[in-house]
Amino acid sequence: MAEALRSVTYSSTAASDFGERELDELLASSRAANLSRDLSGMLLFRGNRFLQVLEGPESLVRELIDRIRRDPRHRDMRVLVDEEIEQRRFADWTMGYESLKMPQNAAPEGFRDSFDDLDSDDGTITARALRELTLWFRTRSADPR
């Protein structure tokens, strides 16, 4: 019997400034490693903050999450969702990626920033933000990587 599939979503902050070059290197090594380990997922990055969904065989996902927790490039790591899944949501991506731009102007009244909602202690707000960001990523990423 095949090992159960697991999906873990976490957020973290880069311990130091992360530029485009560092991100490119991280993505290249992550994609190669994930392909060899049968892992898939997506990464969003904005303002030195990461939001990542990892999915695959449970033992491999847990091993990678433990490695990321110990990685000195990450701080304030927070697991937002940890669940068994029937099928992958990002099966075509060894590591889909999207850089989110920081807003330059003041937001209009009533505007809600899903990325900032990830910091909420209210689980319903965090879950809604994850759904919105995942949907945004999937519809925006017509080109699987």
Most confident by average pLDDT, 41-45, 67-71, 128-132:
67-71
Q: pTM of the prediction?
A: 0.72
Number of domains in the chain: 1
In a domain, 40, yes or no: yes
Encode pLDDT of 104-113 as tens digits: 555 444 434 5
Comparison of pLDDT for 65 and 97, the residue scoring more: 65
What is the span of the domain harbouring residue 103? 5-140
Using a CB cutoff of 8 Å and minimum separation of 24, what contacts does 23-31 make?
23/97, 23/99, 27/95, 27/97, 30/94, 30/95, 31/94, 31/95, 31/145
In a domain, 86, yes or no: yes
For the cut 50, the answer to whether the pLDDT of residue 71 exceeds it is yes
